[in-house]
Amino acid sequence: MKVLGIETSCDETGVAVYDTESGLRAHALYSQIALHAEYGGVVPELASRDHVRKLLPLVRETLREAGMTTSDLDGVAYTAGPGLVGALLVGAGVARSMAWALDVPAIGVHHMEGHLLAPLLEDDPERGRPEPPFVALLVSGGHTQLVHVEAIGRYRLLGETLDDAAGEAFDKTAKLMGLPYPGGPQLAALAEQGRPGMFRFARPMTDRPGLDFSFSGLKTQVLLAWKDSDQGDEVRADIARGFEDAVVDTLSIKCERALDAAGCDTLVVAGGVGANKRLRAKLDEMTRKRGGRVSFPRPQFCTDNGAMIAYAGALRLAAGQHGDLAVRVTPRWDMASLEAVVHGS
């Protein structure tokens, strides 16, 4: 089954074709970073307009790269939520229109399920794809969640952030230290130059039981340290390193607790922060020590992309799930409400 995937939940336009027999055929991504940089954050109306301009050219480019035409498609998948309502409607409108014109099924995909399944998109050359049950750490710009994946489509929330998500904390901390937009990747790169141990910040909520997160207090600690410093380049790098170490340690501690709570030793990690090198190394070390494994998608599939939507949609379409002809999006959508994927049903 060949499925076109469309992602337009925020500020990146992603398109991909996934074939259930041969895997990922092609993918393309357009980022709006330059468009929003002068505003220091995403402007929803501008994001929607840019998706309108870029989506159809990307669809044509992706199909051409895959050596296919629209008549070769067996289905269309698109991000239906969570996300910015205007941006979501652009992708949903194009996807539903294509599906109607081609007389193929279409399905709206949960954005976070797309991220959760991204580590399963491609085979690990050494260990193959992880199979449920496992624990998923979802760390994107707006979400930090620990989820027990009992089966594809059967998810139980173990813990989540009570305030800023890890990605938001990276971005906001970078901004308060004067780093350019988008700040998270800039701060992570700066942390590579920082000296470990020069600044030690709290590991929030690790001194008590539970699997929830809170990063707003950590952000405040960094702000105070920055204001009390000489604000030079060296101290900026040292603070960045201290902040990153605190976030990485916190995520690792909570992940190990979640594995214990779920009674398994397989962890998958997805979302933009999942591309962080230090986080990858820390979680790999932690899972190996307990005789388990951790799986990550390729760094380019950690951020929003069409490939994860095409894959998640292909799984559901192959199981006989699809929607009606209405263009619907769900800007706020609980992943626990999703239907389980049962093939052959």
Q: Which helix (H) or strand (E) holds 44?
A: helix 44-66
The torsion angles phi and psi of 84, rounded to 5 degrees, stand at: -75, 125
Residues 325/327/330/335 CA torsion (nearest 10 deg): 30
Mean pLDDT over all residues of the chain?
A: 95
- Cα separation, 122 vs 319, in Å, equals 20
> Could you tell me where in the chain the CATH 3.30.420.40 domains are found?
2-117+301-337, 127-296
The contacts of residue 286 (CB under 8 Å, 6+ apart) are 252, 255, 256, 294
Residue from 76, 24, 36 nearest 10 by CA: 36
> What's the pLDDT score for residue 178?
93
Neighbours of 77 (CB within 10 A): 33
Q: Which two tokens stand for residue 100?
A: 């109607």
Residue pLDDT, tens place only, 106-123: 999 999 999 999 999 988
Q: Which two tokens stand for residue 249?
A: 């340690």
In the annotated binding site for Fe cation, the residues are: 111, 115, 304
**Superfamily for domain range 2-117+301-337:** ATPase, nucleotide binding domain (3.30.420.40)
Type of residue found at 10: C
In the annotated binding site, the residues are: 111, 115, 138-142, 171, 184, 276, 304
pLDDT block averages, 10 residues each, the chain of length 345: 98 98 97 93 96 98 98 98 97 98 98 96 83 95 92 96 93 93 92 97 95 94 96 96 98 98 96 95 97 95 97 97 93 93 67
Architecture, CATH, for domain 127-296: 2-Layer Sandwich (3.30)
Enter the DSSP assignment of 339: P
In the annotated binding site for substrate, the residues are: 138-142, 171, 184, 276
Tell me if 79 sits within 8 A of 114, measured CB to CB. yes
- Entry pTM: 0.95
The contacts of residue 34 (CB under 8 Å, 6+ apart) are none
> What's the pLDDT score for residue 345?
39
> What's the pLDDT score for residue 286?
98
Residue from 40, 38, 28, 33 nearest 11 by CA: 33
What is the sign of the dihedral through the CA atoms of 318, 319, 320 and 321? negative
Residue pLDDT, tens place only, 150-192: 999 999 999 999 999 999 999 999 999 999 988 999 999 999 9
Sort 59 into a burial class: Cβ within 10 Å, 0-12 / 13-18 / 19+.
buried
